[in-house]
Structure 1
Amino acid sequence: MRNNGIGSWTARRARMSPDRVAVVHGGERSTYRELHERATRVAHVLTGLGVTGNDRVAYLGPNEPAFLETLFGTGLVGGIFVPLNTRLATPELAYILADSGASVLVHAPTHTEHAESLRDAVPHVLDHVTYERLLAGSSTEPVDEPVDQDDIAMIMYTSGTTGRSKGAALSHANIHWNTVNLLIDVDLAGDEVTLVNAPMFHVAALNQTVLPTLLKGGRVVLDSFDPARTLSTIAEHRVTYLFGVPAMFQAVAAAADWPGADLSSVRTMICGGAPVPEKVITTYQERGLVFLQGYGLTESSPSALFLRAAESDRVGSAGTPCFFTDVRVIDADGDDARPGEPGEVILHGPNVMTGYWGKPDATAAVLSPDGWLRTGDVAIADEDGFLYIRDRIKDVIISGGENIYPAEVEDVLHKHPAVADCAVIGMPDGRWGEVGRAIVVRREPVEPAELLAFLDNRIARYKIPKSVVFAETLPRTASGKLRKSALREEYGENA
């Protein structure tokens, strides 16, 4: 094959295991042969619309087969896939379409209203009916456009918690090496049944679960997230592998059916996307489950650190570097921080993005000439090289000259039985410069004084927030990260 990118994966799998089930969605099942045929039809449709090498094709919709068909079909013609965050408002979607220069937008029936408003932002818009009609009349003749590993495969837009979203340009090589990293860390098998209910427009769901499973010839069960349905789907489909962000795993463990849920088929659960509270980890370990966590970001495709099964007793650690990724923790001078001292995490490896699409200045700000990526995340390494992610640099609270890492305080607060969710932000203080404020979602009635007393003797007193406010819910991105900027706006000094 002349196509050495991910667009060729369905063809390679179809010749190895054509009759294995590849994708399950609702009551429908597609084999690898059928998935490849559909992707080939998409490729011919895109060619008919004038899509050639490096042209961008966007997709807007939930986890469903058309997402994967468009991804692989785009890859077959050498195009660049642009998955869109379904939670974004129309102006935000229009910005991404313009920024990426997408020439085609494929969308699901659930997003017709959005798509209609975007018709002026992109030359070709394919709704579900048009998409199916064009595929039905399309060719199944093989497509084998030349695609090199260094060509861009997809542009994945960051969640944009501060400022405009930036598109991380990931090459076919980036995705290839990320997949290798994952398969070294997690022993996925050819009979894997992977539940995918985190949104595929985010890098972890797509690159840490879907693509590795399809490479191995397993099956992916596509769904949207619902805590109770997660438990029933695991039992019904005998799910062996799943990924989630901490908030998802917290919600599943809080579901009414959790105590009696049949989880006997599950071999591996991995968690990431935000600092993982210790209580979440132990809740699953107490059920005898292999609950692993890792650390990564969109810009690294996302693999960076992983805590492997044999090391899962190191609760709270994000692990050690993935096989083909190098990681350092550096101080303000750029030197390696000593064990136990916080510093910024920087990454290097073949999975690190080529840069931000169309933004050389933003790329230069985070990517050094020799390929080291500055993450903006703070971590501490122990004597054995295991890293503990503390927080985002911009979220660190400096109180009386001491650094307070909100994630550390949040982790302890999560252990109080009345706390369903929480976040800590900084507040100006005349004496200390800054002090912490906890925003808490209650599971049951509790007073602020009780929560502050709970923290005493569990963390240093200077880390204890000076105030507590209650909220019905906390704003999060689609990938589960707390939107600290929104919390500061609602509960901070100017609230």
Structure 2
Amino acid sequence: MLNRGIGSWPARRARKTPDRVAVVHEDRTLTYGELHERVLRLAHALRALGVTRGDRVAYLGPNHPAFLEGLFAAGALGAVFVPLNTRLAAPELAYNLADSGSTVLVHAPEQDGTARAAVAEAGVPHRIALAGPDEDGGLGYEELLAGAGTDPVDEAVAPEDPCMIMYTSGTTGRPKGAVLSHANITWNSVNVLVDTDLSGDEVTLVVAPLFHTGGLNMTCLPTLLKGGRVVLLGTFDAERVLGLIEDLRVTYMFGVPTMYDAIAARPRWATADLSSLRTLNCGGAPVPARTIATYLDRGLAFSQGYGMTEASPGVLFLDREKASEKAGSAGVPHFFTDTRVVGPDGREVGPGERGEVLVHGPNVMSGYWGRPQDTEAAFTDGRWLRTGDIARIDDEGFAYIVDRAKDMFVSGGENVYPAEVEDAVLDHPAVAECAVIGVPDPVWGEVGRAVVVLRPGVRADRDDILGHLTGRLAKYKIPKSLVVTEALPRTPSGKIIKPAVRDAHAPAPAEHPHP
């Protein structure tokens, strides 16, 4: 084959195991042979719309076979896939669509209104609706596939070619698109196969959203590469997860801590048949010690790791053999990935000392889409990616993430960057100054708190100011509390001193791992 990217995976799997089940979604199953045929049809349909090498194809919707079909079809054409976060508001989606220059958006019925608004604002030429054609010019997904051919598609795609643009919020307040190549994603999958011992009989429950690298690249794609079965769940429901584990004999899944806490809180947790599970992988947010203990006490192999979108995402991983002995650690680097923990002077720190985590490997992104300056700033010596997260290493080389990037906090597995939220709050006519910080929350880990200074002579309350953000920001980004203060602490140059804001308006965060 000329195509050496992941767009060739369905064809390569179909020639090896065409009758093996690849995807399960609700009451529908697709074999590898059927998946390959649908990918070919979609590739031909996209080509008929003018999609060629390098063009961007976006997808908006919950976990669904069409997500994977879109990813592979784009890869078959040498195009670039752009997964979009379903939790974003229409203006945020429009920015991502315009920034990436996407020419096609495929979307699910649940996002119909948001998709139409975002496409109109961004000027995307083609909108494909999973629900079928509509009066606003949306093309029908299944109708397009039914009218397309199944002739082989074998474009020359190199491993270094861009495969995907994954948007991650930036500290400047605007999201940045991490460009992940076919090689990045392939090597990340190889790391997972080596470090978690996935097998061809794997039954992987994909309940974390595919628009995040954790759900897509740590569970779904490695399973498909190995020839296992992925079970796609569109929305998280703890009771249904337990039922699927029992009924389908699930062997592997990934989730964020809030998901695992919700599962363990179900009444049937103590009696559910979980004997099929081989590995439970947890990441994306700080993992409380009580969560780890709950699963280890149940006799389950509970592994955690640390990663970031820019690394596809795997950086560190604690395998199941060490899950109990090293509980709380994010582990050691993935097999083909290297890390360093360095101090402010750039030198590696000793055991027990703290330093910033740097990462290098074939899974690390080539850069940010259309942002050469941000790309240059993200790397040290042009080679090592700066994570902005702080770790300590024990005597055996196991890493413990003890602090996070300067201002970012994690709410329910979602990264929240205060600058973006602050910009939106400052648009309210009553607000003169604003600082957003993360504060502890028993359900979401952390939630936002807006600390604001009102304009002289103006009055406004919490509901008025925070209500102003509805529809402008995703719900998880909107602060859950608001404090009005006389002034915000600033440096002589005028910059807000965030540590001082936290000291005054939030309890000191406990030191705990950030996998």
TM-score (norm 1): 0.82
Mean Cα deviation higher: 110-119 or 41-50: 110-119
Per-residue deviation, residues 63-90 of structure 1 (Å, max 9, x unmatched): 0111111111111000000000000000
Amino acid at match of 1:385: G
Q: For 1:288 and 1:299, how far apart are their aligned partners in 2?
A: 33
Aligned ranges 1:290-309 → 2 under 5 Å:
290-309=301-320
1:184 has 2:184 as partner: no
Aligned ranges 1:23-38 → 2 under 5 Å:
23-38=23-38
1:126 has 2:120 as partner: no
Aligned 8 A contact 1:168 1:299 in 2: yes
Which of 328, 331, 342 is the matching residue for 2:340?
328
1:235 has 2:237 as partner: no
Alpha-carbon offset, residue 393 of structure 1: 3.7
Q: For 2:314 and 2:249, how far apart are their aligned partners in 1?
A: 27
Amino acid at match of 1:33: G
1:226 has 2:228 as partner: no
Q: Which residue matches 1:206?
A: 216
Structure 1 residues 329 and 62, CA, compared in 2 at 3 Å: closer, same or farther? same
Per-residue deviation, residues 263-287 of structure 1 (Å, max 9, x unmatched): 1111111011112111111110111
Q: For 2:202 and 2:482, how far apart are their aligned partners in 1?
A: 44
1:350 has 2:387 as partner: no
1:277 has 2:288 as partner: yes
Mean Cα deviation higher: 335-344 or 7-16: 335-344
Amino acid at match of 2:359: L
Per-residue deviation, residues 35-69 of structure 1 (Å, max 9, x unmatched): 00000001001100111111000000000111111
Aligned 8 A contact 2:387 2:405 in 1: no
Alpha-carbon offset, residue 437 of structure 1: 9.5
Give unpaired runs (5+ residues) of structure 2: 133-139, 419-436, 445-475, 485-500, 507-515
Matched residue SS, 2:280: strand
Aligned 8 A contact 2:64 2:232 in 1: yes
Which of 256, 262, 265 is the matching residue for 1:251?
262
1:100 has 2:100 as partner: yes
Q: For 1:370 and 1:336, how far apart are their aligned partners in 2?
A: 17
Aligned 8 A contact 2:57 2:79 in 1: yes
Alpha-carbon offset, residue 118 of structure 1: 2.5
Aligned ranges 1:380-419 → 2 under 5 Å:
380-395=392-407
Alpha-carbon offset, residue 439 of structure 1: 3.9
Alpha-carbon offset, residue 184 of structure 1: 0.8
Aligned 8 A contact 1:228 1:256 in 2: no
User: How many residues matched?
Assistant: 425
Per-residue deviation, residues 332-354 of structure 1 (Å, max 9, x unmatched): 11111111111110101111000
1:319 has 2:350 as partner: no
Q: For 1:438 and 1:170, how far apart are their aligned partners in 2?
A: 32
Per-residue deviation, residues 68-127 of structure 1 (Å, max 9, x unmatched): 111111110000000000000000000000010001001111111112112322111111
% identical aligned pairs? 59
Aligned 8 A contact 2:166 2:309 in 1: yes
Q: For 2:220 and 2:116, how far apart are their aligned partners in 1?
A: 29
Aligned 8 A contact 2:258 2:443 in 1: no
Q: For 1:441 and 1:328, how far apart are their aligned partners in 2?
A: 33
Q: For 2:370 and 2:479, how far apart are their aligned partners in 1?
A: 27
Q: For 1:181 and 1:489, how far apart are their aligned partners in 2?
A: 43
Alpha-carbon offset, residue 177 of structure 1: 0.8
Q: For 1:134 and 1:182, how far apart are their aligned partners in 2?
A: 35
Q: Which residue matches 2:176?
A: 166
Per-residue deviation, residues 379-415 of structure 1 (Å, max 9, x unmatched): 110111100001214159xxxxxxxxx99xx9xxxxx
1:374 has 2:386 as partner: yes
Q: For 1:365 and 1:152, how far apart are their aligned partners in 2?
A: 20
Q: Per chain length, whose mean CA-contact separation is higher, i.e. which structure has more relative contact order (CA < 8 Å, sep 6+)?
A: 2
Amino acid at match of 1:394: K
Matched residue SS, 1:29: strand
TM-score (norm 2): 0.78
Amino acid at match of 1:190: G
Aligned 8 A contact 1:275 1:390 in 2: no
RMSD: 2.6
Amino acid at match of 1:28: R
Structure 1 residues 232 and 203, CA, compared in 2 at 3 Å: closer, same or farther? same
Alpha-carbon offset, residue 370 of structure 1: 3.2
Matched residue SS, 1:117: helix
Q: Which residue matches 1:471?
A: none
Alpha-carbon offset, residue 487 of structure 1: 6.2
Structure 1 residues 161 and 196, CA, compared in 2 at 3 Å: closer, same or farther? farther
Q: Which residue matches 1:15?
A: 15
Per-residue deviation, residues 298-338 of structure 1 (Å, max 9, x unmatched): 00001111111221121100001111111011111111111
Q: For 1:323 and 1:27, how far apart are their aligned partners in 2?
A: 37
Q: For 2:125 and 2:202, how far apart are their aligned partners in 1?
A: 39
Structure 1 residues 322 and 437, CA, compared in 2 at 3 Å: closer, same or farther? closer
Q: For 2:294 and 2:200, how far apart are their aligned partners in 1?
A: 29
1:340 has 2:352 as partner: yes
Structure 1 residues 36 and 291, CA, compared in 2 at 3 Å: closer, same or farther? same
Alpha-carbon offset, residue 486 of structure 1: 3.7
Q: For 1:384 and 1:488, how far apart are their aligned partners in 2?
A: 42
Mean Cα deviation higher: 37-46 or 254-263: 254-263
Q: For 1:377 and 1:60, how far apart are their aligned partners in 2?
A: 30
Aligned 8 A contact 2:159 2:182 in 1: yes
Q: For 2:75 and 2:300, how far apart are their aligned partners in 1?
A: 36
Q: For 2:247 and 2:171, how far apart are their aligned partners in 1?
A: 37
Structure 1 residues 490 and 231, CA, compared in 2 at 3 Å: closer, same or farther? farther
